[in-house]
Chain A
Amino acid sequence: MALRTILHYPDPRLRRTAQPVAAVTDAIRALIADMAETMYGAPGIGLAAVQVDEPYRVVVIDISESRDQLQVFVNPEITSREGEQQMEEGCLSVPGIYEPVTRAARIKMRALDREGKPFELETAGLLATCIQHEVDHLDGKVFVDHLSRLKQSRIRKKLEKQSRLAM
């Protein structure tokens, strides 16, 4: 297991569309383990493979307080969305920025687990928001894309300045 480097917005590599995983191999399981470690270390409640520069449709999530309820989603697909809810979101690729985003309140989805076995899930609340946020990443989208142009450009400038200072 290893900690991976998280790409930071507006890195163009966050804009790539991830490809489906053909088979859940040991290599994918190793990626999942790295992603979990990286997410817990950050600390975050969800991480998509795209954020660690791996263009595969793999997501890890743990929204528990105790940080011991890891959920793995390979090739996740949202099959239905209902209602609306607004939550304040942040992103490991957009450090220090928190903004309210409106998304579906309830979703149905299917995916493969870490053994490659298909499962279905119907959920709401924070988990629903988090899944939508991570699936966006797999399609090259970041949560700031849901904000106004003005907010987007402010955030971009702030983060560009931060990364210059860090270098």
Chain B
Amino acid sequence: MVVDVTWQGARVGAQDAAERANALRKLRLADVLFHAVTRSAAIFVLLLLGGVMVALLLGALPALTTFGFDFVTTQSWNPVTEKFGALAPIYGTLVTSLIAMAVAVPFGLLIAMFLTELCPMWARRPIGIAIELLAGIPSIIYGIWGLFVLAPFLQQYVQPALIATFGEVPVLSSLFAGPPYGIGVLTAGLILAIMVLPFITSISRDVFDAVPPVLKEAAYGLGCSTWEVMRHVVLPYTRVGVIGGVMLGLGRALGETMAVTFVIGNAHKISSSLLAPGTTISATIANEFTEAVGDLYTSSLIALGLILFVITFIVLAIARYLLLRIERKAG
């Protein structure tokens, strides 16, 4: 509309100069205004992250001042005596994520290798799309499946076998001790692994695809086998990107709530056995927050959230930094 006015103004010549100047002023004003609005929206995104930080800090303050540094080093979690220590959830978060990574990273890399080097061309796109779609499935679906399918399966078949096999072996026997509950740290780690697998696979495939074909063809031309090309050409070239992708997956695993809450068992204690129930930071918050009575209890749970946020922030920041480096190299 406004453009039309200036257009016609131009066509008619200097007939209505005042009107034209007026229209131009309006246009300039609209431009300045739009610039300001978009800029403030961008700043708002920054403030959002700052707001999350500040809100969590303020909420966690009572717990942090009461318990001090002991909060992260003690294990007791007792709502009755109002004694709270975050060691058990922190331990659970780290161990479940570690199990998830130990399973998902080799699997993800092998699948990415399959997709980029071995898979026939016609099947690459459908499998790739299927994996990307699976990455979008909400975590609660994985959780409900873990509770009703994976946990009973592990309890009936896998865990008794683990106990029987490693029962006599030193060190390992304590890792696989106790009755097979089905739910527990190991089950939670495996569910996380299944959940993170699509992420790691699709990122690894993307970075593998970014390797210049010349490099691979040169290696194949020298007579290298597929594995040697992967091991000595593709992996060294994409190392940074792969680590970035793994860290991104780790960030997801650390913060994942629903998939874990279903199968972890919510027990505030650290046990050496992977078969025993435990808890993670996010599962503790999800299970207890709405039932928490008393300011100190609520504040302790928010402090847990703060710790989780700080851990994932660091992991994700490193991941993004590494992936950014790859992008710069590529483009």
Q: Is B one of A's binding partners?
A: no
